[in-house]
Amino acid sequence: MGCGASSQKDAVGGHRRRPGSVGDVVVFLPGLRVPRSVDLAQALGGRLDRSIVERMSALRARVVEMAMQESAAALKPRRKTAAARHGSSTANLLQALEDYLPFLLGLVKEGSTLRHTVQFTWTNQEDNAAEETTMADAWYEVLSVLHLMAMVCLLQANTLLLPRSYGDGYAPRVSEESRRATVDVFLKAAGYLDCAIRHVIPQIPPELRRQLPVDLVEGNLKALSLQALGQGVDMQLGLAIDSPKATLAVKRRLACEMVKYWQQVQESIPDLPGSDGWGKKHRLFVKWKYVEAKAAAYYFHGLILDEGNTEKSHGMAIAALQASEEFLKESKRISEAFHATPPTSRSPTPFGTAKYMFDKIPKDASSKVRINQDLYTQEKVIGTPPPLPDFALALTPDDYDLPPLDPLWNKEDRRQ
């Protein structure tokens, strides 16, 4: 039992690939961890019914092959026209992982003596110290599977949020249907990670937990789960902005919730390697989205304050709008740094919340200052934005429970 680090290797036995570019990025994910092949027949032969070993071996081999292919595809800049095909491949990988779990969980069922019989190896992405991690603990394999399921969901969300042409004469765009669909995908990703945190991490002994790669440490799992929720709220806010029925109060509440999610991401994220690679890019993404969320929250807060009839409310409105404008400028700088950090990426045409902010904030902030310049000087309001209201967080991860064992395990129980 234990953990070991290899040299710079990739999932097919050579040096681990450092992608130069990953194309258009709306949803961040730190690559895909990929399982290495393992001879389950050798490890479990004679200790487990042959039908279970053969079925589990076939399912895991399918996961290995598909994960290798998907990981390689994820490292390549993709044409927007390939989005539908790529969505199908990620759905197939997710199904393969879901099919594998009911067999894998038999190794960790109560009373099982097989938990530590197989050496499971997975490549890492964010951990610069350990290119791959091996543990003779089936719970490590379960944890890795759930993490990969969540990352596949984030990959699906990114694909859904890339602008595409609909053959109607209009420019490529992200449809309302795609944005609504991604909310469910984000909640599913958060559900897998939440299950890993609540039900799998506690099963791994503390000494082995300390040997987990940074990709799988509890803080990173929690940060990725919260990121999914934060981006889900971002989609909800964009839909509210487009809806004539959504009030300013609703938009402000969603924007303030988004700030809280990203603040919690910052508090949860572990000390990722910062010199280069996925770790540095991950931290920049979190910082970018946190600042962007504050720009939206202060903007809607400022508009609501400006509806007041007092000199104080107008002054606070201007302060909030000016803070919003500064946060928007800062978010743009951080976004550029994120996309320039290897592996480089591109920002697709803004849509939803981001497009609205870039269109509205500079105009509204300057116009409000001009209207009230006889009452408030810039020196008086800059740097003193009013506090944002505190709202309870509404979005929560999907309820996901580990699946029941495959019925073939009942045959094994009878044999024993």
* Model pLDDT, residue 12: 39
Q: What is the mean pLDDT of residues 332-359?
A: 93
Contact 108, 413 (CB under 8 A): no
Q: Provide the residue count of the chain.
A: 416
Give the residue carrying structure tokens 């032969």: 45
Contact 152, 95 (CB under 8 A): no
Query: What is the bridge-based pairing of β-strands 344-346 and 21-24?
Result: parallel
Percent of the chain, pLDDT > 70? 87
Q: Is pLDDT at 275 greater than 70 in this prediction? A: no
DSSP secondary structure letter of residue 16: P
DSSP secondary structure letter of residue 173: B
Token pair, residue 180, equals 């609504």
What region, left, alpha or beta, does residue 169 occupy, with left being phi > 0 and alpha being psi -120 to 50 degrees? left
pTM for the full predicted model: 0.91
The secondary structure of 310-362 as a DSSP string is SHHHHHHHHHHHHHHHHHHHHHHHHHHHHHHSSSEEEPPPP-HHHHHHHHHHH
Query: Cα–Cα distance between 130 and 7 in angstroms, integer?
Result: 8
E strand spans, 120-219: 120-123, 132-135
Q: Which of 327, 326, 311, 299 is nearest to 388 (CA)?
A: 299
Q: Is pLDDT at 7 greater than 50 in this prediction? A: no
DSSP secondary structure letter of residue 198: I
pLDDT tens digits, one per residue of 228-258 = 999 999 999 999 999 999 999 999 999 999 9
Residue 65 pLDDT level (bands cut at 50, 70, 90): very high
Three-class secondary structure of residue 168 per DSSP: coil
Q: Which of 280, 260, 265, 413 is nearest to 340 (CA)?
A: 280
Q: Is pLDDT at 70 greater than 70 in this prediction? A: yes
Neighbours of 81 (CB within 10 A): 10
Q: Which of 68, 74, 4, 75 is nearest to 36 (CA)?
A: 68
* Model pLDDT, residue 213: 93
DSSP secondary structure letter of residue 175: -
* Model pLDDT, residue 126: 83
Percent of the chain, pLDDT > 90? 69
Residue 271 pLDDT level (bands cut at 50, 70, 90): confident
* Model pLDDT, residue 81: 46
Q: What is the mean pLDDT of residues 279-283?
A: 90
Q: Is pLDDT at 322 greater than 80 in this prediction? A: yes
Domains and CATH numbers, the chain: 24-76+86-162+173-216 (1.25.40.280), 245-397 (1.25.40.280)
Three-class secondary structure of residue 60 per DSSP: helix
Lowest mean pLDDT among 81-90, 165-174, 266-275, 332-341: 81-90
Share the mean pLDDT of the chain: 88
Residue 10 pLDDT level (bands cut at 50, 70, 90): very low
Q: Is pLDDT at 99 greater than 90 in this prediction? A: yes
Contact 57, 24 (CB under 8 A): no
In degrees and rounded to multiples of 5, residue 35 shows phi and psi of -75, 145
- Look at 387 and 378; give whichever has higher pLDDT: 387
* Model pLDDT, residue 88: 80
* Model pLDDT, residue 118: 97
* Model pLDDT, residue 359: 93
Q: Is pLDDT at 323 greater than 70 in this prediction? A: yes
Residue 42 pLDDT level (bands cut at 50, 70, 90): very high
- Look at 197 and 84; give whichever has higher pLDDT: 197
Burial level of 305, CB count in 10 A (0-12/13-18/19+)? buried
3-state helix, strand, coil in the chain (%, to 5): 60, 5, 35
pLDDT tens digits, one per residue of 177-225 = 999 999 999 999 999 999 999 999 999 999 999 999 999 999 999 999 9
* Model pLDDT, residue 250: 98
